[in-house]
Amino acid sequence: MLPSSAKVLVVDDMSTMRKYVRQCLTGLGVSNITEADDGDTAWQAVQDALASGKPFQFIITDWNMPRMQGIDFLRLVRTDERTQGLPVLMLTGEGSQHQIIEAIQAGVSAYLVKPFTPENLSERVEIAVRTAAG
């Protein structure tokens, strides 16, 4: 599970979804949460966190977003040696087998289709952490 001190990035273009994910994470004891509304903004947040010496320890991202899709953001995370081992949970309304396979090939740690419950999110976070730990 995520330690309560974990620094988490939540990426979704819908503010209501970011708020719900934040509430779920807070329920798990995690409070150091940063939000971004698309992959572009998220990638900048990742770079800023790395530059500050306080990198993110977990990312939750949607797939469908303006400017930069979540799958493209995931690929950026996986191609940067500083973030390639970071656990990334894809949280999306996209549940087709093709997209799940694409996300797995891009290096996603876990995948969760909306709608979801706090328990579903907790399970997938745990899977993502274990997967990233190897």
Residue 119 sits at φ, ψ, to 5 deg, of: -65, -40
Q: Which residues of the chain have pLDDT under 70?
A: none
Q: 78 near 87, Cβ under 8 Å? A: no
pLDDT at residue number 77? 98
- Looking at the whole model, is its pTM more than 0.85? yes
Tokens describing residue 20: 């719900």
Domains of the chain, start order: 7-116 (3.40.50.2300)
pLDDT at residue number 132? 87
What's the sign of the alpha-carbon dihedral 107, 81, 61, 70?
A: negative
pLDDT at residue number 70? 97
Amino acid letter at 114? K
Mean pLDDT of the residues in the chain: 96
